[in-house]
């Protein structure tokens, strides 16, 4: 964990401080947090999902309209947090309304976002609680949490006994409604109905 200030940090101070090279950082309730270095398995799952989502975007006829940037920071409305998703799918039709996108890769408006994906690492509580709550409040339409090994998340998310689980949270009437997928369950995404994989096909990439 990295805290560059002795006081609580605003989003603007965080962006001004953010290093140009080396490491990934987020702002959690005014505290700068260094994100865990990704393992090979984490990178494999993230890369595989990114490839499959790109193929799905093409199949859905959204090529050149929906895009997956290399990196970006999502700013919730509380001025004290900023998150860097593992994967974010953006609708380019709305990026013109993002005042900071061109110069800083910052997303502030929910209509710009089709999907956010978080592949779980050691900071799983942030993924399931803090980020899920902030994305819900921000009205992000769909949020995936991918737990590709059943060791970290709580049993209320992974089952008892724990199993690798992909959770999809869909925004319905302003609140997230969750669905969980394990084993041979076919992934059912409201935003990506053409995504044709089972949970196990994703999890095996991370073994």
Q: Is the pLDDT of residue 5 over 70?
A: no
| 112 three-class SS | helix
Residue 55 to residues 58, 63, 166, Cα–Cα distance (Å): 5, 9, 19
Say how many C-beta atoms besides its own lie within 10 A of residue 37's C-beta. 9
Give me the chain's average pLDDT, please.
Answer: 92
Find where tokens 């490839």 sit: 51
pLDDT for 148 equals 83
Q: Is the pLDDT of residue 1 over 50?
A: no
Q: Which residues make beta-bridge pairs with 67? A: 90
CA-CA-CA-CA torsion sign (136, 141, 125, 182): positive
pLDDT for 36 equals 85
CATH number of 37-206: 3.90.1570.10
pLDDT tens-place string over residues 112-149: 999 999 999 877 889 999 999 999 999 999 999 999 87
Q: Is the pLDDT of residue 3 over 70?
A: no
pLDDT band (50, 70, 90) for residue 150 = low
Written as six digits, the tokens of 22 are 């080396």
Q: What is the mean pLDDT of residues 88-108?
A: 96
pLDDT for 58 equals 97
Q: Distance between the two ends of the chain, CA-based, in angstroms?
A: 27
Which residue ranges make up each domain of the chain? 37-206
Q: Yes or no: say if 164 and 199 are a contact pair by the CB < 8 Å rule.
A: yes
């Amino acid at each position: 964990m990295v805290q560059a200030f002795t006081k609580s940090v605003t989003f603007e101070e965080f962006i001004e401080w953010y290093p140009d090279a080396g490491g990934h950082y987020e702002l959690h309730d005014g505290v700068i947090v260094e994100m865990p270095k990704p393992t090979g398995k984490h990178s494999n799952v993230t890369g595989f999902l990114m490839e499959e989502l790109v193929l799905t975007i093409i199949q859905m006829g959204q090529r050149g309209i929906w895009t997956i940037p290399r990196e970006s920071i999502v700013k919730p409305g509380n001025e004290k947090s900023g998150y860097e998703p593992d994967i974010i799918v953006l609708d380019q039709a709305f990026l013109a309304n993002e005042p900071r996108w061109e110069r800083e890769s910052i997303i502030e408006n929910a209509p710009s976002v089709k999907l956010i994906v978080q592949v779980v690492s050691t900071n799983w509580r942030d993924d399931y609680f803090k980020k899920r709550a902030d994305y819900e409040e921000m009205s992000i339409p769909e949020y995936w949490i991918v737990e590709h090994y059943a060791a970290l998340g709580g049993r209320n998310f992974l089952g008892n006994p724990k199993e690798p689980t992909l959770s999809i949270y869909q925004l319905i009437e302003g609140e997230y409604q969750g669905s969980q997928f394990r084993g041979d369950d076919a992934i059912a995404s409201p935003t990506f109905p053409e995504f044709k994989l089972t949970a196990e096909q994703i999890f095996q990439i991370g073994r």
